[in-house]
Amino acid sequence: MKQYTSLKFIPLLLLFTLTFGCSISLPKKTYRKSNIVGATINDQSASVEIREELDEQGNVIKKNFKHPYYFTGSGLANILSSIYYNQKSLIKGSTGRRKLFREEELQSIIPPIISAFSMATDSQDILVFSTSDKVLLSDRQSYFSMFISDNDLNIVFSTIQSKKNLTDGRAFRKSNKDKFKDPLDVKRDSFWSLVPMGGQRLAKGHQNWLIIDLSSNLFGMASTDNADISDNINGNSIQAGSNERVIEKKVRTDKNFIAETKKYQDVREKLKELKGLRDEGLISEKDYEVKKKELLNKF
């Protein structure tokens, strides 16, 4: 009887030891807080935001991105027009390769993306929320991060062509983009995957992270040292792809849009001057960050 009691006590002792006598080492979650420092467009159908990430002390996490970067309108249009994805279905399986962005969608997001890249620092990425088929419940939304490292443009998606419905609050008057996950926290999705084309590849272990070689010249001229934004949003056409197919641009030319574009140019020039003062040691890093945020807050 005593032996039986001893044997019965051993599992209890082992459980107690595991529970209180030792600690299980778990991976520490990295603290990361997003801080939106400015937006070049922000409405219910599209937004382009400049983001930085902060550590526990509130300091900006250094990323060493190649920013600011000056895209041309035709170069960026070529790149975004070349992005394809596979739609997946539980019943039908893969439905085949599809082009991601519609022409009207590109006309809406390209100018503010160009502006955002021209103002971003080497520690800031660009968050883009975009809508195609802008007719109530047929609206489809995509959410992604963009940044440049070395000679590569990185585009990381958290959602592609997500359809609105009546139950999620996105159907009427609201974009509700905060419902989507941070693109950098996502590796794959059950309903879609990106399809890399020429000059493109997927990041290792990801189906949602596209890396595009900007030095390959497969997409035409991607950037200039000092791209004029007005050149990027005016004109009659933009080139799309190696077959020289022309996408007709129906760009807004109202006075408000022209004034808004002029503001982008003025702020960009002031940011370049401010960066030059910092690089020459004429102002401190702290003063540079304060003045930069003041300029970006004008949007």
Asked if residue 293 is part of any domain, the answer here is: no
pLDDT at position 4 is 47
- Predicted pLDDT at 164: 62
* pLDDT at residue 32, as a whole number: 64
* Whole-number Cα distances in Å, 85 to 64, 100, 125, 210, 292: 29, 6, 23, 11, 37
**pLDDT tens digits along 116-157:** 999 999 999 999 999 886 555 567 889 999 999 999 999 999
Residue 28 forms part of a structural domain = no
Q: Which residues of the chain have pLDDT under 70?
A: 1-32, 90-94, 133-138, 164-179, 217-218, 220-266, 268, 297-299
pLDDT at position 205? 93
- pLDDT value at position 180? 79
The answer to whether residue 123 sits within a structural domain is yes
Report yes or no on 27 lying in a domain: no
* pLDDT of amino acid 28: 38
Domain contains 285: no
CA nearest to 130, candidates 97, 106, 114: 106
**Domain range holding 129?**
33-248
Burial of residue 270, with CB atoms counted within 10 A of its CB: 0-12 exposed, 13-18 middle, 19 or more buried: middle
The Cα–Cα gap between 98 and 161 comes to 11
Long-range contacts of 130-135 (CB under 8 A, 24+ apart): 130/45, 130/46, 130/101, 130/105, 131/45, 131/46, 131/105, 131/175, 132/101, 132/102, 132/104, 132/105, 132/161, 133/102, 134/45
**Residue 281 domain-assigned?**
no
For 200, residues 6+ apart whose C-beta sits below 8 A from its C-beta are 82, 210, 211, 212, 213
pLDDT recorded at residue 161: 85
Mean model confidence pLDDT for the chain: 74
Return d(Cα 175, Cα 237) in angstroms, integer.
29
Q: What is the pTM of this model?
A: 0.64
pLDDT of 137:
52
Q: Specify if 190 maps to a domain.
A: yes
pLDDT digits (tens, 9 = 90+) for 173-219: 455 565 678 998 988 787 899 999 988 999 999 999 999 999 876 67
Q: Which of 118, 121, 86, 84 is nearest to 101 (CA)?
A: 84
Q: How buried is 289 (Cβ within 10 angstroms: 0-12 exposed, 13-18 middle, 19+ buried)?
A: middle
Domain count within the chain: 1
Instruction: Encode burial over 226-240: b for 16+ CB neighbours within 10 A, e otherwise.
Output: ebebeebbeeeebbb
On whether residue 276 sits in a domain, the answer given is no
